[in-house]
Amino acid sequence: MDFDTILNSPFVSELKTFLASTGLLSIDLLSYWTLIQIGLLLFSILVARFLVGILKEPISNRLRNIEGQRGFLKFLVILHRNLFWFLISLQLWIGYGILRMVTWPSHSYITRVAAGLTATWFVISVLTRLIKNRFLSKLVAPVAWTISALYILGVLPRAIEFLDYASFDIGTANISLLSVIKTIFMLGLLIWLALSASNMINSALEKNDDISPSIKVLLHKIIRFALLALAILVSLSVVGIDFTALAVFSGAVGIGIGLGLQKIVSNFLSGIILLLDKSIKPGDVIEIDTVSGGTYGWVQHLGARYTAVRTRDGTETLIPNETFIDSAVTNWTHTNKIVRRKLPIGVSYDTDVEKAIELCIEAANATQRVLKVPQTVCLIKGFGDSSVDLELRFWINDPDGGVANVSSKVYLEVWKRFQEHNIEIPFPQRDLNIRSSVPIEVKTKK
C-alpha cells in the first residue's frame, strides 16, 4: 500500500473531518487577534509563575500554623499545590471577558478554549487528589480531562463517532476503539465499586461480636470474590461481549493452572480449609517449624495465598497456607487459652528437697500471670549426675502475652528464694583421672 492510498483511505478522511470539526484547523495563526490571544496566554503563564514564586512560601508557613480540622487542611494543601493552574485560569477568564467586550466572539476563541481547559484541569486535579488510591487518582485525572477537553471544543459527539468507526474484526466479532474504552471504563468503575462495597461489608462484619474471627474472614473473602466476579460479568455484558467467547479463555486458564499455578491454587484452597475448620484464625498464638526455622507469634491476617504471623521481635512472617496443612502446628489458643509451662530446676544433693519444692511453688504463685487454679505443682523427675532434678509446672491463660517472659519471671523468683535460704543450684562437676605408664615429674620453683 503506497502513501497516496493511505492518505485517501476512509480512516484518514474520517480523521481529517474530526480535526476540522474542532475549529483548530481554521484558525489563522498570523491574524492580529490570534497573536493577541497567544500573547495573552504566554503573559498569563509568566505572571502565574511569578506570583507562585512570591506566594508559595508565605502560604506554606500559614498552612503549617493551622491546627485541627485535618480534612479541611488537606483540601487547602491541595489548592496550594494547584495554585499555578488557578492563576492562569483566572487571568484567561478575565482576558476572555475583556475580549468579548471589545471584539467579535470569534476573535476570542483561543482564549475561551484555553481558559476552559486550564479551569477544568484545576478542578480535576483538586478532586482527584482527594482520592486515596494513588493509582486510581492518576488514572482518572487524564481521562476526565480528555473528555472535558473534547466537550469544551464541542467535538465530543464527533469523537465518539470516530472511535466507533475505528474498529477491527476478530473472528466474527467486530471490536471498535469505543467498545474497548467502554469496557475498560466500566470494568474499572465496577471493580472499584465492588472493592468499596467489600470493604464496607468487612467493616460491618468486624463490628459484629457474634461472628467468630475465622467466619468473618471467610465471609469477607467469599463476598469479595463474588462481587469482583459480578463486576467483570456485568462490565462485559454492558459492552455486548458474548459470553460464549469466554469458553476459549476459560480453557486457557485451566491449562495455565495445570502447568504453573498449582502452588497458588493449593495455597488458596488451603486457606479456605483453614477458615472452615477454624484450626487457625486471626489472633491465635501459634508455633510452627518452617524451612527457615521455628516461628512463634500471633496470626495477624489470613490471606488468599499466605498467613501473616507477627513474631515477638515485631517482624511479620508470611507463611504459605499449605504449610499449615502439611506441617504440625502448635496452636496455643485453639480451644482455650489456658496452657501449662514446665520449668526444669536442679538442686544439690545436700539440699532439703521438700523445702526447695515448697519454695518453687511459692515463687510461681508469686508471679502475676500464673494461675492459682489449676494449682502449681513441683515434682521430682529424677536424680542427675550432679543434682536432684525437679520440674515446676504452672498454668497461664494469656499466652498471647508471651510464654518465655513469664517463665523468666518465675525463674527469677525461684533464684531469689534459693538465695535467701542458701539453696545451691549445682553445676556439673567432673573428676579427671590421669593414667600413664610414664612417671610425671613435678618441679617447683625455689
Q: Which domain-ending residue is among 165, 194, 209?
A: 165
Q: What is the CATH number of the domain that holds 311?
A: 2.30.30.60
Residues 35 and 135 in one domain: yes
Residues 401 and 320 in one domain: no
User: Is residue 425, in this structure, part of any structural domain at all?
Assistant: no
User: Is residue 48, in this structure, part of any structural domain at all?
Assistant: yes
Give me the pLDDT at residue 314, please.
77
Residues 225 and 246 in one domain: yes
Q: What is the pTM of this model?
A: 0.44
Written as nine digits, the cell of 79 is: 489548592
HSE value, Cβ hemisphere, 13 Å, CA-based, for 352: 7
Residue 128 backbone class (left: φ over 0; alpha: ψ -120 to 50; beta: rest): alpha
Q: Which domain-ending residue is among 221, 236, 260?
A: 260
Q: Which domain-ending residue is among 260, 295, 315?
A: 260
DSSP string over 399-414:
GGG-SHHHHHHHHHHH
Q: Could you tell me if 307 and 299 are in contact, meaning their C-beta atoms sit under 8 angstroms apart?
A: yes
Residues 16 and 106 in one domain: yes
Cα(72)–Cα(195) distance, integer angstroms: 26
Residues 153 and 233 in one domain: no
> Which is nearest to 303 in space by CA: 318, 288, 323?
318
> Which is nearest to 243 in space by CA: 173, 164, 308?
173
Give me the pLDDT at residue 1, please.
47
The DSSP output letter for 15 is H
Q: Could you tell me if 391 and 364 are in contact, meaning their C-beta atoms sit under 8 angstroms apart?
A: no
HSE value, Cβ hemisphere, 13 Å, CA-based, for 75: 7
Residues 22 and 140 in one domain: yes
Query: Would you state the torsion angle of the CA atoms of residues 356, 357, 358, 362, taken in this order, to the nearest 10 degrees?
Result: 100
Residues 228 and 102 in one domain: no
Cα(55)–Cα(386) distance, integer angstroms: 82
Residue partners of 378: CB distance under 8 A and separation at least 6: 345, 357, 360, 361, 390, 391, 392, 393
Dmax over Cα atoms in the chain, in whole Å? 128
* Structural domain harbouring 27: 3-165
Count the domains in the chain: 4
Residues 378 and 320 in one domain: no
Residues 223 and 270 in one domain: no
User: Is residue 440, in this structure, part of any structural domain at all?
Assistant: no
> Which is nearest to 114 in space by CA: 189, 186, 209, 48?
48
Cα(323)–Cα(268) distance, integer angstroms: 12
Tens-of-pLDDT digits for all 446 residues of the chain? 454 554 455 555 655 565 555 555 555 555 777 788 888 888 888 988 888 888 888 877 777 777 666 666 777 777 778 888 888 888 888 888 888 888 777 777 788 888 888 888 888 888 877 777 676 777 777 878 787 877 777 777 777 777 776 666 655 556 677 777 777 777 777 887 888 888 888 888 777 776 666 667 777 777 888 888 888 777 777 656 655 555 555 666 666 655 666 777 777 778 777 777 777 888 788 888 776 677 778 888 877 778 888 887 778 888 888 888 887 888 877 777 788 889 999 998 888 999 999 999 999 999 988 998 889 999 999 998 888 999 999 999 888 777 888 999 999 999 999 999 888 888 776 666 666 666 666 666 65
User: Is residue 97, in this structure, part of any structural domain at all?
Assistant: yes
> Which is nearest to 282 in space by CA: 219, 214, 332, 335?
214
Written as nine digits, the cell of 157 is: 459527539
